[in-house]
DNA sequence: TTTAATGCAAATACTTTGCAGGAAA
DNA sequence: TTTCCTGCAAAGTATTTGCATTAAA
């Protein structure tokens, strides 16, 4: 694993919450570091495989990534303007694990996001 | 709105749970009806806009659709073999609406799916 | 030298859009 | 006629892969 993976992970840690591979690539190249989009994708995929990074697809079809951290949270997203609020998972976490255990599933992860219109856009 | 939208909706109702636009198009053309992929996409998008249909992106990046029904449920998906269990949303529904209200959001929908390994694949 | 990392360009997959022909009002 | 529906082909976007170059071990 070369230096690039380190750079990707570092920038991932700067970003709060999820970020897409494309955005991450933008951020990195804008910062000063030269890096290929392919390399960003490959670094992210490796970290997903190793369990260091969580991923899910947003409604636009882009994959979003974040470092796995203990302070796991979810998103409330305005479908009109994109305004996003981070919210606590609350009961979700236990719902997910109990549903999984009940059905014999293991190594679980979950996605849970809420979409709606924010006050401005309603 | 022509006949095609009716056909799309009908086949959507046959399918239990979510189905992708591509799969739906396959099913429809295989059944006997000639229909263009474009038309399927357009019919689905119209129904999403009107609130008749729910949609989300699966981890592969495909959009999946289902008719909105009162017996709303969620999915527990095996990431290895694709085996899927339908589970009740339980506390999710109230979590979603309370989080939304607390932040001034309206017209909300949510996605909540759990991924893991089923007994066979663990 | 042998192995792994890198990135450009091409390929792939899903979805959307432009446009012309046809059906319905 | 005017409007809407259809669907082919082209375009657009995100992601993956082939391959040659380069860096590291």
**Structural domains of chain B, ranges and CATH numbers in brackets:** 1-68 (1.10.10.10), 69-122 (3.30.1490.190)
Over residues B17-24, the mean pLDDT reads 92
CB contact under 8 A, B91 and A92: yes
**What distance in Å separates the CA atoms of residue B4 and residue B9, rounded to the nearest whole number?**
9
From residue B40, how far is each of B6, B23, B57, B87 by CA, in Å? 11, 10, 17, 28
Q: What was the pLDDT predicted at B2? A: 61
Start-end of H helices in A19-88:
21-31, 37-49
Q: What was the pLDDT predicted at B1? A: 55
Please check whether strand C approaches the CB of B62 to within 7 Å: yes
Nearest to B105 among A60, A104, A116 (CB): A116
Give A79 CA → C6 C1' in Å. 37
* pLDDT confidence bin for B122, thresholds 50/70/90: confident
Q: Which residue has the higher pLDDT, A89 or A37?
A: A37
For the entire predicted model, the pTM comes to 0.80
Give, in degrees to the nearest 5, the angle at Cα A19 between A17 and A22.
175
Q: What was the pLDDT predicted at B71? A: 63
Residue A19 has pLDDT above 80, yes or no: yes
CB contact under 8 A, B115 and A95: no
Over residues B76-97, the mean pLDDT reads 83
Min distance B81 CA to chain A CA atoms (Å): 12
Q: What was the pLDDT predicted at A46? A: 94
A64 to chain B: closest CA residue = B59
A43-90 pLDDT tens trace:
999 999 888 898 888 888 999 998 876 566 788 888 777 788 888 887
Give the residue with minimal CA–C1' separation from D4.
B1
* pLDDT confidence bin for B116, thresholds 50/70/90: confident
**What distance in Å separates the CA atoms of residue A56 and residue A32, rounded to the nearest whole number?**
28
Q: Cα dihedral sign for A19, A21, A24, A30?
A: negative
**Distance from the Cα of residue A43 to its chain's centroid:** 14
Q: Is B81 exposed, middle or buried (0-12, 13-18, 19+ CB in 10 A)?
A: exposed
Protein-covered nucleotides of chain D (CB closer than 7 Å) are: 4-9, 14-18, 24
* pLDDT confidence bin for B88, thresholds 50/70/90: confident
B23-50 pLDDT tens trace:
999 999 998 899 999 999 999 999 998 8
Residue A100 has pLDDT above 80, yes or no: yes
Residue B14 has pLDDT above 60, yes or no: yes
Number of residues assigned to chain B: 122
Q: Which helix (H) or strand (E) holds B54?
A: strand B53-57
């Amino acid at each position: 694993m070369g230096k690039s993976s380190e750079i990707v992970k570092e920038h991932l840690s700067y970003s709060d919450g999820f970020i897409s591979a494309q955005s991450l690539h933008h951020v990195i190249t804008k910062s000063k570091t030269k890096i290929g989009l392919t390399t960003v994708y490959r670094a992210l995929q490796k970290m997903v495989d190793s369990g260091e990074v969580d991923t899910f697809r947003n409604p636009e079809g882009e994959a979003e990534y974040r470092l796995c951290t203990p302070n796991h949270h979810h998103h409330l997203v305005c479908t009109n303007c994109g305004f996003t609020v981070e919210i606590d998972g609350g009961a979700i976490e236990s719902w997910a694990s109990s549903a999984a255990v009940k059905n014999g599933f293991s190594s679980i992860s979950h996605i849970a996001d809420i979409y709606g219109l924010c006050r401005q856009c309603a």
